[in-house]
Chain A
Amino acid sequence: MINQIARLGRSGLDIVEALGRSGAFLWRSLAGVPHPRVGFPLLVRQMYSIGVLSLVIIIVSGMFIGMVLGLQGYTILSDYGSEQAIGQMVALTLVRELGPVVTALLFAGRAGSALTAEIGLMKATEQLSSMEMMGVDPLRRVVAPRFWAGFISVPLLAVIFSVVGIWGGMLVAVDWLGVFEGAYWSNMQASVDFSEDVINGAVKSIVFGFVCTWIAVFQGYDCVPTSSGISSATTKTVVYSSLAVLGLDFVLTAVMFGGF
């Protein structure tokens, strides 16, 4: 019994310690802006592999989710004879909720896990150590550009996701199910507010981008440098990112739309 309590306490301490370590890690990576001549090409290369290469999955998923929303929304709304409101429903769902959340989840699975594995492998093959011995700080050289690239990419991806989704919803609702196109857009425009909905959605995706990339690069940097260590770090990245995104989404939604 005492042992169990002790174990609980120890794992609690472990969690607090890991949090502290990840905070210090983030601080050391981001403190000190590198010279643009060095830093910019590194950032661009990471933006390519993190952001541009994630575009396909984001666009395809956004499209399908928008189409599903259109279909589901139509069947429900047409029961009340208000299928005109489908544009409003699709847009609000995407901009406020599904855009940021699904993008962040996809990002964690597609780019976050790759980040963790890449940094973990660099650690396992002593590339990070050798960089340190060459007088180059791997936190600034390897981690910082990856972090910024993820942080910038996620909001952009989320916005693209929402737009593609709204277009997909229109495809189903207007072209297939015959909702009047003017009603689709005007209902949407009447109900979606720029500062309330679009900006809040963007804020969400900025927060998610920060948290997801932070988790990914930290798990990679902090992993046990063996093959099993890297695989468990990759798993942790996806699990922790998903949980953090869903949990934070609730908190942010409560703060933004909950009315307190």
Chain B
Amino acid sequence: MTQRKTEVFVGLFMIAGFVALLLLALQVSGLSLKPAGDTYTVYADFNDAGGLTERGRVSMAGVSVGRIRDISLNPKTFQARVAIEMDASVNNIPDDSTAVIRTSGLLGAQYIDISVGGSLESLKDGDEFYETQSAMNLERMISNFASGR
């Protein structure tokens, strides 16, 4: 085995390794090479954040328009305060829109869906959603139904 041949093989090996890493980044984790676009943050207070997770999806009409950055407890109202990073390109959401927690499929992950309101003013960085609708709680629903309320 000549030194040169060895060097070529080792070079190929390292290239294969880096190509694999690139594949993991682009194909598997869906990392996009274009810089993450500008975002602005809006807040939504839910009575029950249910199964929302950080990095969860935020969508309008089924199209992803942002992601959940942080979920914390609002100490004044004892509600779940969810910080949402909205894509800057979606800058005309009416400020009376409603944030709704929905489930994808019957058992799938929960996400926030924004149902559009009718106001002419739009949400800006740091604003809060006017109205929210909490996670559907199957157990509570059944007990409500059973007690006839």
Binding site for B on A (CB under 8 A): 41, 44-45, 47-48, 51-52, 55, 80, 82, 91, 95, 153, 155-157, 159-160, 162-163, 166, 185, 188-190, 192-194, 197-198, 202
Q: Identify which of B13-21, B75-83, B121-129, B132-140 touches chain A.
A: B13-21
Please report the C-alpha to C-alpha distance between residue A52 and residue B3 in the assembled complex, in whole angstroms. Answer: 14
10 CB-based A-B contacts, threshold 8 Å: A52-B12, A55-B13, A163-B20, A163-B24, A166-B28, A189-B27, A190-B57, A194-B29, A198-B25, A198-B28
Is B62 interfacial (CB-CB < 8 Å)? no
> Which residues on the B side are within 8 Å of A160 (C-beta)?
16-17, 20
Is B89 interfacial (CB-CB < 8 Å)? no
B6 touches A48 (CB 8 A): yes
> Which residues on the B side are within 8 Å of A202 (C-beta)?
21
A interface majority secondary structure: helix
Q: How far is the CB of A162 from chain B (nearest CB, A)?
A: 6
**A189 with B7: in contact, given A160-B20, A163-B23 (CB under 8 Å)?**
no
> Which residues on the B side are within 8 Å of A51 (C-beta)?
10, 13
Using CB atoms, name the residue of chain A closest to B6. A48
B29 touches A198 (CB 8 A): yes
Please report the C-alpha to C-alpha distance between residue A163 and residue B108 in the assembled complex, in whole angstroms. Answer: 26
> Which residues on the A side are within 8 Å of B20 (C-beta)?
156, 159-160, 162-163
Beyond A159-B24, A189-B29, 4 additional contacts (C-beta under 8 Å) are: A82-B108, A156-B13, A189-B27, A193-B55
**A189 with B21: in contact, given A80-B107, A82-B108 (CB under 8 Å)?**
no
Closest 10 CB pairs of A and B: A189-B30, A156-B17, A194-B29, A192-B29, A194-B31, A163-B20, A159-B20, A47-B10, A48-B6, A160-B20
Is B148 interfacial (CB-CB < 8 Å)? no
A82 touches B105 (CB 8 A): yes
Is B9 interfacial (CB-CB < 8 Å)? yes
**A197 with B29: in contact, given A80-B107, A95-B24, A156-B17 (CB under 8 Å)?**
yes
A159 touches B17 (CB 8 A): yes
> Which residues on the B side are within 8 Å of A185 (C-beta)?
27
> Which residues on the B side are within 8 Å of A157 (C-beta)?
17
Name the one of B7, B13, B17, B31 contacting A155, with C-beta atoms under 8 angstroms.
Answer: B17
Using CB atoms, name the residue of chain B closest to A152. B14
Using CB atoms, name the residue of chain B closest to A197. B29
Q: How far is the CB of B18 from chain A (nearest CB, A)?
A: 8
Please report the C-alpha to C-alpha distance between residue A156 and residue B16 in the assembled complex, in whole angstroms. Answer: 8
Which B1-55 residues sit within 8 Å CB-CB of chain A? Answer: 1, 3, 6-7, 9-10, 12-14, 16-18, 20-21, 23-25, 27-31, 55
B30 touches A95 (CB 8 A): no
Please report the C-alpha to C-alpha distance between residue A52 and residue B108 in the assembled complex, in whole angstroms. Answer: 42
> Which residues on the B side are within 8 Å of A192 (C-beta)?
28-30
Please report the C-alpha to C-alpha distance between residue A185 and residue B26 in the assembled complex, in whole angstroms. Answer: 11
Name the one of A52, A193, A194 contacting B10, with C-beta atoms under 8 angstroms.
Answer: A52
